[in-house]
Amino acid sequence: MTQIATKHPNHPAPDSTGLSEDQWQARLDRIAKDPRMSEDNTTLSRDDAKKFAIPLLGIGVLGLLVTAISAFSVDLRHALGAFEVGVFTALAISIGSLFWVMVFHSLNASWAITLRRQFENIASLVWVPVAMMMVVVGIELSQGGVLLQWIGYTGEEYNHLLKVKSPYLNANFFVIRVLVYAIIWVGIARVLLSWSCKNDETGDRMLGRKARFLSGAGIPLFALSTAFASFDFLMSLDYRFFSTMWGVYYFASCALASASAVAIVATILRRAGKLDGLVTQEHFHDLGKLVFAFVVFWAYVAFSQYFLIWYANIPEETAWYTNRQQHGWQWLFVVMTMGHFGIPFLLLIWRKTKRRTMLLCGMSVYMMIMVILDMVWIIRPMVYMNTPKADPGLAMIWLDIAGIVGVLGIFAGLVALRISKSPLLPLKDPMLHESLKHKNYV
Amino acid sequence: MDMKKLIDDAKTFGADYFPMFLRKPAPKFVTESGNPVFGIVAEFDETPKVFKAAKKVRDAGYSKWDVHTPFPIHDMEEAMGIKTTKLPLMAGGAAVTGLCIAILLQWGTTDWLYPTVVQGKPFEAWQPFVPVMFELAVLFTAFMCIFGMLALNGLPRFHHPLFSHERFYRVGNDRFFIAIEATDPNFDPEKTKKLLEDIGGTDITLIEDVN
């Protein structure tokens, strides 16, 4: 007699909860009855979002107009440099958020679930900095190399380094690489957001499992694409320079900027009376720990890179630092050591700074400014390098501010609009009940 | 700061480790056989019961007491009214000490006492000092975390008076205990026993401190 194995109706589903369908439905009902999950508390209306979005978009468009006009009338290199500072800050915020979403999925992090939708929202807007990156690529290619001088190298005049590096640093391969980065970032971010939003309606637990699988594959892709994008756009501003730490250096800014950005977004939502009891002091505490961790991580990476280059004293490497320690940019070195590491380290190490929402929000705004200054430190001194013009320094700061504010204003405005499109947290996530009672015991 | 109390505390602490040199202060309470009283212990059989009881002991104003359970109970530190530890501040002090020692050792030797040229780098270069500054700060912090933790919680110890209580061994299995020590200023043999009875403790026993 043969026995046929049939699935028991109460057989637990192979997702992270290990619950049968009945138990899962009971849990969903229990969460839906929770007074904190009321519609008013978990959604942001379109009109409220527009109150934030319209001024931000207005400032953004104004800033970009000023940058575009001065690109024609004042200086193309300077305008493009200012624009790139904004683009790479916005890119750091959005792909950093993508990184956190994938980390939360792959580690099954339950504490972050009430915050995860904000990370997903920001990550799904990665198309904004990517589109602006395409504009940068277009300008560079049509002008035959503006800031990226290697694009204009044709091989007529002998340049050993450019010749040796030309299999990687050439226009065709550059365009292919940028397209690959765009597909990876935009693709993963859109898919993860759409699965998360679909889960809000259907409550299908397998979507979380799928997202975990995609995140596992996505993290190595993210690591490679971020590192190579930072090589292509930032490291090759000086084609002589090379640093194996460069990708990690930019990644540190990504993780830091996105954790700070979500701390700011969550604080604004809490001040607007949303997510009451859903995002609590405990979630802010953990977000603060992430910000603190990446302040230290950034300093560790930045110093490792600087220290080895300083010690080895090889001309093509040290030139990167010597160029930045003269021509009126010396003060940024002090800002980077003390402002980006020293002061926030001493402030964020206190438990109270991380647990008080407004203090953490203030620190996050400060860290965002530091990330922007880090991008200025990377890009801005290269603008007048190897050109006949003398660097005007802070005399032309209005153009730098216009470029940065233009990009970040548009990005922030679109984030505000995006937040109102879906519920403020994944309503039917399998582990949501754990995030609701999350508490730090240390 | 009460200096006498501090010295007494230090003596009590040290007497566990060096009984040949240090004597504990004279006990406030002794049993009929002349042994000092360690405290009174009460037994509980369920987690919620011991949790509620701990809150009541806290509200009665006791400070030298402890709850013993087979597993960690969340929020117990709040129910017992335990304040945040001073260990982070101590660790911070150790970090600053390590940093200063690293600066003195490196700058003092290679720049001040015996100026040395290393690889043609300038004397006043701060860059090579940073890794050692970082490492020494971390090392001192780690040592302070370990030894400060041991100093604050009184571990390791070779014996505890509660081990003379036969029933206490079930704390590793299925029983919860609240022990109020005789060194507590609020301790009173009758009143404390009454309190433990009121909050639902069973098998209330007076424990002797026999070395």
Min Cα–Cα distance to chain A from B15, Å: 32
A307 close to B (CB below 8 A) = yes
- DSSP secondary structure, A323-371, as one string: HHTSTT-HHHHHIIIIIIIIHHHHHHTSHHHHHSHHHHHHHHHHHHHHH
In a mutational test of the A interface, the residue from B127, B138, B145 whose CB has the highest number of chain A CBs within 10 Å is B127
Q: Rg (Cα) of chain B, in Å, rounded? A: 24
Reported as type and span, the H/E element at residue A42 is: helix A39-42
Do the chains contact at A307 and B131, CB–CB below 8 Å? yes
Q: Please, how many CA atoms are within 13 Å of residue B48, restricted to the half-sphere of its CB?
A: 0
Note whether B131 contacts A310, CB cutoff 8 Å.
no
- Cβ distance B130 to A439 less than 8 Å, yes or no, reads no
A183 in Cβ contact with A117 (< 8 Å): no
CA angle B187, B188, B192 (to 5 degrees): 80
Query: How confident is the model over B41-82, as pLDDT tens digits?
Result: 999 999 999 999 999 999 999 989 999 999 999 889 889 998
pLDDT at residue A237, rounded to an integer: 92
pLDDT digits (tens, 9 = 90+) for B182-204: 988 889 989 999 999 999 999 99
pLDDT the model gives residue B32: 85
User: Rounded to an integer, what distance in angstroms lies between the CA atom of residue A370 and that of residue A341?
Assistant: 9
Give the residue from A296, A305, A311, A325 with the most B CB atoms within 10 Å of its CB, the best one to mutate: A311
The rounded distance, in Å, linking the Cα atoms of A257 and A374 is 11
B118 contact A CB<8A: no
Angstrom distance (rounded) from CA A438 to CA B71: 20
Residues 6 or more apart whose CB falls under 8 angstroms from that of B149 comprise B87
- A-chain residues near B93 (CB < 8 A): none
d(CA A164, CA A190): 38
Torsion angle, alpha carbons of A87, A185, A267, A205, to 10: 170
pLDDT value at position B39? 92
Answer whether A96's CB lies under 8 Å from A258's CB: yes
User: Closest-CA residue in chain A for B76?
Assistant: A441
To which residue do tokens 């993860």 refer?
A: A192
- Across the interface, do A303 and B130 touch by the CB < 8 Å criterion? yes
Residue B96 pLDDT exceeds 90: yes
Q: What is the DSSP letter of B180?
A: E
As beta bridge partners, residue B43 has B177, B202
pLDDT interval class at B148 (50, 70, 90): very high
Locate the chain B residue with the closest alpha carbon to A351. Answer: B88
Do the Cβ atoms of B74 and A439 come within 8 Å? Answer: yes
CA angle A219–A225–A230, rounded 5-degree value: 130
Output the CA–CA distances (angstroms, integers) from residue A120 to A94, A186, A226, in the order listed. 9, 12, 18
- Rounded CA-CA distance B27/A46 in Å is 72
| Complex-level ipTM | 0.79
The two structure tokens encoding residue B28 = 């406030």
pLDDT for A9 equals: 59
Residue B205's DSSP bridge partners are B41
**Is there a contact between B119 and A439 if contact means CB atoms under 8 Å apart?**
no
* Residue in A with minimal Cα distance to B118: A311
From chain B, the residues in CB contact with A311 under 8 A are 119, 127-128
pTM of the model: 0.88
- CB of B89 within 8 Å of any CB in chain A? no
Query: Which pLDDT score is estimated for A228?
Result: 96
Residues A78 and A394 sit within 8 Å (Cβ to Cβ):
no
Give dist(CA B105, CA A249) in Å, integer.
31
Q: Please report, as a single letter, which amino acid is at residue B13.
A: F
Q: Where are the domains of chain A?
A: 42-419
User: How far A347 CA sits from the closest chain B CA (Å)?
Assistant: 13
- Both tokens of B179, joined, read 């022990």
CB atoms within 10 A of CB A86: 29
Q: By the CB < 8 Å criterion, does B74 face chain A? A: yes
Distance of CA B150 to the CA centre of its chain: 7
- Paired with B180 in beta bridges are B40, B65
**Cβ–Cβ contacts within 10 Å for residue B166, how many?**
8
- Among B34, B38, B8, smallest CA distance to B22 is for B8
Nearest to A307 among B74, B92, B130 (CB): B130
Burial class (CB in 10 A: 0-12, 13-18, 19+), B112: exposed
Q: Which of B74, B88, B127 sits opposite A307 (nearest CB)?
A: B127
Q: Which of A307, A311, A441 sits opposite B74 (nearest CB)?
A: A441
Q: How many C-beta atoms surround the C-beta of residue B28 within 10 A?
A: 12
* CB within 8 Å: A306 and B128: no
Residues of B whose CB is below 8 A from A350: none
Could B119 and A311 be called an inter-chain contact, meaning their C-beta atoms sit closer than 8 Å?
yes
- Can you count the helices (H) and strands (E) in chain A? 18, 0
Q: Nearest CA to B171 among B70, B80, B86?
A: B70
| Burial (Cβ within 10 Å: 0-12, 13-18, ≥19) of residue A268 | middle
> Looking at residue A153, what is its pLDDT?
82
pLDDT score recorded for residue B159: 83
Nearest CA in chain B to A438: B74
pLDDT by residue for chain A (442 residues), tens only, comes to: 566 666 665 666 666 677 778 888 888 899 889 899 998 899 999 998 999 999 999 999 999 999 999 999 989 999 999 999 999 999 999 999 999 999 999 998 989 999 999 999 999 999 999 999 999 999 999 988 889 988 888 777 888 888 889 889 989 999 999 999 999 999 999 999 999 999 999 888 888 888 999 999 999 999 999 999 999 999 999 999 999 999 999 999 999 999 999 999 999 999 999 999 899 999 999 999 999 999 999 999 999 999 999 999 898 899 999 888 887 888 999 999 999 999 999 999 998 999 999 999 999 999 999 999 999 999 998 888 878 888 888 888 999 999 999 999 999 999 999 999 999 999 988 888 889 888 887 6
Helices A76-106, A246-271: crossing angle, 10 deg rounding? 80
Nearest residue to A200 via CA among A432, A437, A438: A432
Contact by Cβ (8 Å): A93, A261:
yes
Instruction: Report the chain A residue with the minimal C-alpha distance to residue B84.
Output: A442
Phi, psi angle pair for A392, to nearest 5°:
-75, -10
CB proximity list for B99: less than 8 A, separation 6 or greater: B133, B136, B137
Using alpha carbons, list the distances in angstroms from residue A35 to A31, A268, A429. Answer: 9, 21, 17
- Whole-angstrom Cα distance, residue A404 to residue A62? 11
Residues 185-244 of A with CB under 8 A from B: none
What local confidence, expressed as pLDDT, does residue B1 receive? 63
pLDDT at A16: 65
Cα–Cα distance measured from residue A276 to residue A280, given in angstroms and rounded to the nearest whole number: 8
| Amino acid residing at A330 | Q
Quick one: pLDDT at residue A10?
60
